[in-house]
Structure 1
Amino acid sequence: TALHIAEGLRTRDPEVAVTRLASGLPVGADLEYADELTLGRALAGRRAL
């Protein structure tokens, strides 16, 4: 699903950056309850799709 969405976005704007968060945040987690260190690591470890 993520790859399909990324391809659709790139079709509309080839310059758009589509990334996936690194490990550390469980799927469906509420960002309000994530601690600063976990959130920082997830953002720093993003991977391009």
Structure 2
Amino acid sequence: MPPPRPSPRGREQVAAGFAVAGGLKNRLDLQPLISGRLKSKKQPAQPD
């Protein structure tokens, strides 16, 4: 019978993969926002 959930090592690898992919996506999504905020500090930060 296969285990109901993957081994901790497998789960850590999957979580690490998601963290890396999510981190790269967040960095790409946030870069224009950060540079835009730095250029125009007069405008209030937009709530997400």
Q: Same fold per TM (> 0.5)?
A: no
By percentage of residues, which structure has more strand? 1
**TM-score if structure 1 supplies the norm length?**
0.25
**Which is bigger in relative contact order (C-alpha 8 A, separation at least 6)?**
1
**TM-score if structure 2 supplies the norm length?**
0.25
Higher Cα radius of gyration:
2
By percentage of residues, which structure has more helix? 2
